[in-house]
Structure 1
Amino acid sequence: MKEFRRWSAKSAAIGAGVLALAGMQAPVQAHEMKEAKHVLLISFDGLHEQDVARCIGANTCPNLALLAKSGVTYTNAHTPGLSDSFPGLAALLTGGSPKSAGLFYDVSYDRTLYAPSDTTCSGKQGWNVVFDETTGIDAENGGALTHLDGGGKFNPQAIPNAMIGGVCTPVYPHNYVKTNTVFEVVKEHIRGARTAWADKHAWGYDWVNGPSGQGVDDLARTEINSIDPATGTDYLDSYTHTEKFDDYHVQALINEIDGKDSTGTTSAPVPTVFGTNFQTLSVAQKATVATGGGYLDADFTPGPKVTGAIAYLDESLGRVVAELKQRDLYKSTVIIVTAKHGQSPTDHTKLVKNGDTLTKQLETNNYLDPNGNFGQNNTKTGNLNDGSGLVDTGFVQTDDVGLIWLRDRSQLRSVVATLNANRSCNAPGICADGSQAYILYGNALSSRFGDPAQGRTPDIIVQPNPGVIYTSSKTKDEEHGGNAPNDSHLGLVVSFAGLPHAGRTVSDYVLTTQVAPTILRALDLEPELLHSVALEGTQALPGLGVAHN
């Protein structure tokens, strides 16, 4: 039974009448998804808006096309400034940007935290926080990732500490996120609600539980970097192998739709809010163009691997929708298909891989240790999460963006001057000399991402020219994490069988943060129950009859 309803049909009609009498155009308040009982959120990581338009136009994603016909397609949806998986998913689940959610990347830095080994919080502060595949116990002491569930518990060497109320306290991923999630709100305000989620890292994604640690009733523990015993390799070695990993998530959804838990072994109510992440497209996009990966041109013509990945994802989507229909749940389920992030560059002619010239500039000029001994770059095992990293040294995280936490914040102006003097795209320059590149710091950075002095926000964010990846990797031609156009412009389709005027296209500029309040409005809950929504003033998506002004 729903316990909290903000807008009733009667109050909406009264409000519309008052505005009409005043000679004003009334915003749509009537709840056009009032029969919704469930929300299914699916992230096809890497899905660009252009991918959606192309595959629907070419009839290569018929199942997604059918959802678009019964819903709304957003052609101008974007991530909120950074496009790594953590801030990308946080946008969808919290309604907040990194400024309020506090998630900038799955590998980041926090000046207020103590090392995992410092259980009394008596040493130096400043820890390189790594919540990825190594957050599971399999990775302890640099161990091999031999189990699909990451070993069944947290790696203690991955969990930093914080002084809270005078007590030195472990900081798990759910403690690290700074705001609540849709899962927590739904469980708290809808009696008997159940929630479920599945993602790519078994323990690093514990943060989706929210600060309570209890937001997700059924959090599937699946680790994409684990070793598949059938092949002896992880699930990222080819996009077709990634399909096998994503199949675990498809089956989890089907099990949940069938009234079971994600494993299919225990009876459970169908979740009120549930969903998953798919990695197949992302892996196909990253694969080198020479091996059939990525795109053929600047018009997003997919190469062979991306073509195969999109076909797989659409077939998987069809299986899930068919199960909803089989169980008579389709008409009561809002289905949202989008992505945490895009991938850059889709135009291979813009690709620049000069190596990590950004980090090299910082090391060469002694802003970070010139020997690379900063953050967890120098550990006993060579593994990021063996607990032996260096404290209070600053950190830099790069792919197609650069996030810089300085070891000495008083050097900020000098560092910026050095970076500005080396913007050239000729190595050792940082390739940030184009019109779409920027070096963000100071007040401009604080207003957008929060105050670095509070410990979590980077001191400097470098967005290089579109197409630049700070790497020398010969196995990847695309990456994500920043705010390049191909990173941030995503596909977004919201579908509901009972939606009037379905099949619409909305070209308004929207952010993926608007998905979270839309989920709550669809379930008759106040969006402002999400703390990030209240802090950032995030509105529900337009065109669905669930927005309010």
Structure 2
Amino acid sequence: MDKVRKWSGLSAVVGAGVMALAGIPPVAQAHEMQDAKRVLLISFDGLHEQDVARCIGANTCPNLALLAKSGVTYTNAHTPGLSDSFPGLAALVTGGSPKTVGLFYDVSYDRTLYAPTDTTCSGKQGWNVVFDETTGIDGENGGPLIHLNGGGAFNPQAIPNAMVNGVCTPVYPHNYIKTNTVFEVVKEHIRGARTAWADKHAWGYDWLNGPSGRGVDDLARTEINSIDPATKTYYLDTYTHTEKFDNYHVRALINQINGRDSTGKSASVPTVFGTNFQTLSVAQKAPVAKGGGYLDADFTPGPQVAGAIDYLDDALGRIVSELKERNLYSSTVIIVTAKHGQSPTDHTKLVKNGDTLSKLLEANNYLDPNGNFGQNATTSGNLNDGTGLVDTGMVQTDDIGLIWLRDRTQLDAAVTTLKDNLSCNAPGICADGPAAYILYGPNLASRFGDPARGRTPDIIVQPNPGVIYTSSTAKDEEHGGNAPDDSHLGLVVSFQGIQHGRTVSRAVLTTQVAPTILGVLDLDPELLHSVAEEETRVLPGLGIDH
């Protein structure tokens, strides 16, 4: 292999001594990881640290428990400030937060972009970017999502434009991400390396390819919002149906372990590969009254969550068994974690007053009073039909609020209005508790980047934990923000060379997964641009830090 080397046995041993001083078990030595030839990254979306501890303690996830016995379990791992799927996965594969990666949500806003129909970049700037299930061509003109592969191409109405070196240029998801990915680095610096990933949206996750557009050799095109032809319903309608969708990803991994691509065609085994699973997330969101979510603040799973964890652990067992069958287990590092958690676990903290944040902004003229902004106003009533409004600002809410003002000179006035309406009584925004905050100005810029550059929201509102800005009866939990339950995640790094399982309680961020992937493959983590810029460290306790 042609590798860029950085980590030596000496630096790993010295690192182990430093870890001993920091209270981390000093048993991690370089020899534990030196035989690693590939990394398998698995995201069980929604997996909290408490889920891991509970299921291992109760022996309800025996396959994950076996991985933990030859691995390191991190009990204090968190997302870097935002917990939507885009920034959550970006943290794992770039080593960066939204500040350097530029991904805040799958639905966001960029003041520098032009509408998809403005192919000369001569009109107004400011576009509501939507890279979700409608990014596939099935979503064109608001059409039904009838194909598992999203229709087999990009929806041209979903692709905005940017002026690049004087040329009006389409901005695909891989152009939208601002930093490179582990897939690009591995392909560039390990001769013959192959990469693969499978996720929930067929075309919105094109950004995993990185700015080169070529980072993932085998990017499985699977769309969870598509209609299952067997049932004529969406895979998201119940967690047991979501299992069927997740099984496509299990099949893709097993194909790849067996030297085929996700479709079954002959290919080499990937050097870095992985997938996400949605079953647990769907079970967590389901209303408690219908068996979803958790029974108490101690993360006691309700029937659906318990069933989802059983399914995920069984799927994990199938994947590990295939690695062993093909004699690849002893050379594969397996990382089990999550893009995000889910909030609130404690149903007694749930507050659903509707989207009071958007209503307050509209009522005070910071956004259009009739809600006609961005993709909220389209001809079909669906996102990405090409008729969204330009230069209007936007707000994105779940259990957080991201606000792009239509007039940035109104920042001080908007913040004052928000602060004057913090209570949960209408028109309040439920942000009056000690864990809530309104982030703006220099504090926001230092953490997430300067809004004046176009991508970063002007204001971020973190409401009280448990608040979801919706009145929907279809879900009792959400993610995207920085509440404890959607930011505190499970994280287990397993390798057969680790003889004794151990626990690290030091606070870590999920951004540390990406440089760790490169470190175990003997590559310099600073080949990742976000790692270099944010000075992201590899995970402690593995013998590869220095």
Aligned residue pairs, count: 541
CA distance in 1, matches of 2:131, 2:397: 16
Report if the CA contact (8 A) 1:31-1:546 is conserved. no
Q: How does 1:333-412 map to 2 (within 5 A)?
A: 333-412=332-411
Aligned to 1:217: 217
Q: How far 1:5 sits from its partner (Å)?
A: 1.3
Per-residue deviation, residues 403-441 of structure 1 (Å, max 9, x unmatched):
000000000000000000000011221000000000000
Distance 1:296 1:326 in 2: 39
Question: Which amino acid counterpart does residue 112 of structure 1 have in structure 2?
Answer: T
Partner of 1:538: 536
**Residues 118-170 of structure 1, C-alpha deviation per residue, up to 9 Å, x if partnerless?**
00000000000000000000000000000000000000000000000000000
- % identical aligned pairs: 83
* 2:251 corresponds to 1:251: yes
Aligned ranges for residues 51-450 of structure 1 at < 5 Å? 51-264=51-264, 266-450=265-449
State the alpha-carbon separation in 2 of the partners of residues 54 and 42 from structure 1. Answer: 19
Q: CA separation in 2, counterparts of 1:449 and 1:10?
A: 36
Partners in 2 of 1:438 and 1:29 — Cα distance? 42
Q: Give me the TM-score of the superposition, normalised by structure 1.
A: 0.97
Equivalent residues in 2 for 1:484-495 (5 A)?
484-495=483-494
Residues 14, 149 of structure 1: alpha-carbon distance in 2 compared, 3 angstrom cutoff: closer
- Asked whether the 8 Å contact 1:514–1:541 carries over to 2, the reply is yes
Secondary structure in structure 2 of the residue aligned to 1:196: strand
* Separation in structure 2 between the aligned mates of residue 529 and residue 178 of structure 1, nearest angstrom: 14
Distance 1:49 1:27, change over 3 A: closer
Query: Contact 2:374/2:390 (CA < 8 Å) preserved in 1?
Result: yes
Give the conservation status (yes or no) of the 8 Å contact 2:16–2:543: no
CA contact (8 A) 1:29 1:547 kept: no
8 Å CA contact 1:42, 1:275 repeated in 2: yes
1:5 aligns with 2:5: yes
**1:26-37 map, 5 Å:** 30=30, 32-37=32-37
**Offset, 1:8:** 3.1
Structure 2: runs of 5 or more not aligned: 18-24
> Shift of the alpha carbon at 1:10?
5.9
Q: Distance in 2 between matches of 1:15 and 1:121?
A: 52
Give, in whole Å, the separation in 2 of the partners of 1:547 and 1:141.
Answer: 50
d(CA) in 2 for partners of 1:194, 1:480: 32
Structure 1 residue 200: Cα displacement: 0.1
In the alignment, the residues of structure 2 paired with residue 481 and residue 301 of structure 1 have an alpha-carbon distance, to the nearest angstrom, of 22
1:376 partner SS = helix
CA distance in 1, matches of 2:346, 2:445: 32
How many Å separate the matches in 1 of 2:199 and 2:432?
Answer: 37
Q: Is the 8 A contact 2:183 2:215 kept in 1?
A: yes
Contact residue 11 and residue 545 of structure 2 kept, 8 A: no
Matched residues in 2 for 1:274 and 1:356: separation? 38
Counterpart residue type for residue 100 of structure 2 = S
Contact persistence 2:12–2:545 (CA under 8 A): no
| CA distance in structure 1 between the partners assigned to 2:298 and 2:7 by the alignment | 43
Q: Match for residue 20 of structure 1?
A: none
What's the TM-score once normalised by structure 2's chain length? 0.97
* Superposed displacement of residue 11, structure 1: 6.8
- Residues 225/13 of structure 1: CA separation in 2 closer, same or farther (3 Å cut): closer
Secondary structure of the 2:376 match is coil
**Cross-structure match for 2:468:** 469
Aligned CA-pair RMSD:
1.7
